[in-house]
Amino acid sequence: MQWTPRGRSDDLEDRRGESPGFGGGVRGVAPIGLGGLLILIVLSLLTGRNFLSVVDTGSGRIADPGTGSAPVASGPEEEKLVQFVSFVLDDDQETWDQLLPGRYEHAKLVLFRDAIQSACGFAESATGPFYCPADRKVYIDLGFYSELKSRFGAPGEFAQAYVLAHEIGHHVQNLLGIEPRVRSLQRARPLLTNELSVKMELQADCYAGIWGYSTGQRNLLERGDAEQALNAAAAIGDDRLQRMAGRRVAPESFTHGSSAERVEWFRRGLQSGSLDACDTFESRLR
């Protein structure tokens, strides 16, 4: 991918030197003791699901971001990656500034290591990159990109860019009112929870593709870049992840979509550059 370092983005929050705390909690959920907390940590590590995001540690208030920070030890290779995600973040959001003039509001990107406390709860690096609609921030442990390459077989800068653009896609959904409508419908019709989750994730893939289309129009893509992103989309499909975990493929349990679906919807955005091409809900939310 053709890119030029611009320095660190104004929308970047570097919290890699911060220690996450347990002194806060999440409003509206039950408190839990230390023994239960340890059990949930083990379950999170074993299953890859973030069980800690649904508990409170006793105070009944939203947690402070962390209990302390230290200087960030960042080598040249990691600093280059920070520069790259800063470029992608700014370029992606500038694209949405143009696509949604007067409506788009910038998200923040939070870099962390190992674990973080967000407005959506406590999360570990094993959770993977995520968007929190409560604080309108994207969270990522840069170590995920090593996992993307080594564990999921999806190397390359444009594969890395796709992951970030997907999370920004969730921010776009939040700004457009799609995310809150989906959450409301999930609460009203719990049997549709997974189906609606898949539709929202596939739309975020399509929105990532829209940014990809923009980079192509500006000659930022190099030979093989699109294939890198499509490979990344396929690598994290629910069916592939279930096979990697030694489980049977269970479409009824999908929350993000199959590899084929993720590739298809990313490609739709990549080829069209149009919001209209990304209606995974078939306008049912209107």
Q: Which tens digit of pLDDT belongs to each residue from 188-198? A: 999 999 999 99
Expressed as residue numbers, the domain containing 57 is: 22-63
Q: Is residue 3 part of a domain?
A: no
Q: Which tens digit of pLDDT belongs to each residue from 4-17? A: 999 999 999 999 98
Same domain (yes/no): 214, 240: yes
Residue 31's SS3 state is strand
Question: Taking all residues of the chain, what is their mean pLDDT, rounded to a whole number?
Answer: 85
Distance (Å, rounded) from C-alpha 190 to C-alpha 205?
A: 24
Strand-pair partners of 69: 18
Same domain (yes/no): 53, 85: no
**CB under 8 Å to 221, separation ≥6 — which residues?**
1, 2, 158, 212, 215
Q: Is residue 125 part of a domain?
A: yes
Same domain (yes/no): 118, 35: no
For residue 231, the model assigns a pLDDT of 93
Same domain (yes/no): 111, 236: yes
Q: Is residue 68 part of a domain?
A: no
Residue type, 222: E
Same domain (yes/no): 115, 221: yes
Same domain (yes/no): 148, 58: no
Same domain (yes/no): 107, 35: no
**CB under 8 Å to 198, separation ≥6 — which residues?**
238, 254, 255, 256, 257, 261
Residue type, 128: G
Q: Is residue 102 part of a domain?
A: yes
Q: Is the pLDDT of residue 126 over 80?
A: yes
Q: Is residue 124 part of a domain?
A: yes
For residue 285, the model assigns a pLDDT of 56
Q: Is residue 239 part of a domain?
A: yes
Residues 238, 179 contacting (CB under 8 angstroms): no
Average pLDDT score over residue span 177-184 = 96
Q: Quote the DSSP letter at residue 20.
A: P
Same domain (yes/no): 189, 56: no
Q: Is the pLDDT of residue 232 over 90?
A: yes
Helix (H) or strand (E) holding 259: helix 259-272
Residues 165, 210 contacting (CB under 8 angstroms): no
Same domain (yes/no): 103, 31: no
Same domain (yes/no): 144, 212: yes
For residue 3, the model assigns a pLDDT of 94
Same domain (yes/no): 116, 39: no
Distance (Å, rounded) from C-alpha 46 to C-alpha 39?
A: 11
Same domain (yes/no): 144, 55: no
Which residue has better confidence, 62 or 125? 125
Distance (Å, rounded) from C-alpha 268 to C-alpha 279?
A: 10
For residue 28, the model assigns a pLDDT of 35
For residue 207, the model assigns a pLDDT of 98
How many domains, the chain?
2
Q: Which tens digit of pLDDT belongs to each residue from 38-85? A: 554 555 555 555 544 444 333 333 344 444 455 576 788 999 999 999
Specify the pTM: 0.82
Q: Which tens digit of pLDDT belongs to each residue from 100-118? A: 999 999 999 999 999 999 9
Q: Is residue 261 part of a domain?
A: yes
Q: Is the pLDDT of residue 243 over 50?
A: yes
Q: Is residue 138 part of a domain?
A: yes
